[in-house]
Amino acid sequence: MSSSGRLNESYIDTLANISGVSSVAGVLSITDTSSSESQGINSGSRGEFGPMSGLSLNGINRDKLSLVGIKDVNGSFFKEGTNEVILGKSAAESQNKTIGDNITIASTNFKITGIFETGSIMTDSGGAYTSLSKLQNITDSNYVNQILIKTTEGANDTTISENIEKKYGGDDLSTITAEEQAEMLNNAIGILDMASLAISALAILIGGIGIINTMIMVVYERTKEIGVLKAVGWTSNRVLGMILGETLVLTLVSGVVGTIFGILMSEIGIRLLGSGPGSDMFSLAYTANTFILAFGVAILVGIIGGIYPAYRASKLAPTEALRYE
């Protein structure tokens, strides 16, 4: 890649001759941040990854499509030098397009000849591909802004990457391996996981405090009732079990209400995202483990939050409780 977004095409042949490199492809990308019928163009250095803000049109030689994960299409591949594109499945669905339809990207009308699905959310939701020569002709350019390199079996990607930067890098060219990309993604996911854990811990803490406060008030308000129960023969353990049981019922009812509310808010949120570009990158998935964990935590918080109020109720002396006003 280049910090300027422009790489001389001569790099393609140069890098193809490096030991350990089996295939090289130049990619030129432009991003139409408006709708498929608008005229806006934003040139950039986006490669095979479609942006969230709009549809990315990528130029690449047809025989190099496998380097971006496109091996098969429903329909047919584009012909070199023609106004034909293949579109990612998610992008086609969001644009309401199918094979044979026309689509306007970068002020140019293209015919969709095929729909592809790579399994990559970014590629399938934001990527349209045409021939490199056609896109260079449209943008009046003779450069690429990304070069994809496939190494031979058993080659050390990191070593090849470092050799390329050492020999050709300087201030203009930089490299990144698939392993480094995966590590960056894992780090980002790790940060999100930590944030999610912190929010969950805060919610559990607030929930626990709420339960304790609620049940203490219940004990205070029912002090005389508890005194009567103990006066007619209820043991401390029975009173303890009654308060803990009520706490668990309250917690479970709250868990059901919270689950319904959470699903509704999630559905509303995903539909709001669904009205904008890149919406196909988001989807909801509900699993049994999620609900089991949620109710397990709810029950645990209920037990912990109800222990003190229940213990306090069980230790009330009948005579003092009956005098309580």
pLDDT per residue over 15-25, tens digit each? Answer: 888 888 889 99
Collapsing DSSP to helix, strand or coil, 130 comes out as strand
pLDDT higher than 70, residue 40: no
Collapsing DSSP to helix, strand or coil, 281 comes out as helix
pLDDT higher than 90, residue 92: no
pLDDT per residue over 206-251, tens digit each? Answer: 888 888 888 888 888 888 888 888 888 888 899 889 988 888 888 8
- Name the strand (E) or helix (H) holding 143: strand 143-144
* Cα-Cα end-to-end distance for the chain: 78
Lowest-confidence segment of 29-43, 82-96, 107-121 by average pLDDT: 29-43
pLDDT higher than 70, residue 109: yes
> Which residue from 234, 244, 222, 228 is spatially nearest to 306, judged by alpha carbons?
244
By the 8 A CB rule, do 284 and 266 touch? yes
**Measured between alpha carbons, how far is 230 from 74 in angstroms, rounded to an integer?**
76
In this prediction, residue 99 carries a pLDDT of: 92
> Which residue from 247, 213, 243 is spatially nearest to 230, judged by alpha carbons?
243
**Measured between alpha carbons, how far is 135 from 140 in angstroms, rounded to an integer?**
8
Distances (CA, A) of 67 to 28, 148, 152, 251: 14, 7, 13, 53
By the 8 A CB rule, do 53 and 277 touch? yes
pTM greater than 0.75: no
Q: 321 or 119, which is more confident? A: 119
pLDDT higher than 70, residue 275: no
> Which residue from 321, 302, 298 is spatially nearest to 215, judged by alpha carbons?
302
In this prediction, residue 38 carries a pLDDT of: 36
Q: In the structure encoding, which two tokens stand for residue 172, read together?
A: 């203009």
pLDDT higher than 70, residue 119: yes
In this prediction, residue 325 carries a pLDDT of: 57
Distances (CA, A) of 197 to 61, 170, 200, 259: 45, 41, 5, 18
Average pLDDT on 297-306 reads 84
pLDDT per residue over 131-177, tens digit each? Answer: 999 999 988 888 898 899 998 888 888 888 888 888 877 657 788 88
DSSP string, 232-274: TT--HHHHHHHHHHHHHHHHHHHHHHHHHHHHHHHHHHHHHHT
- φ and ψ of 226, to 5 deg: -65, -40
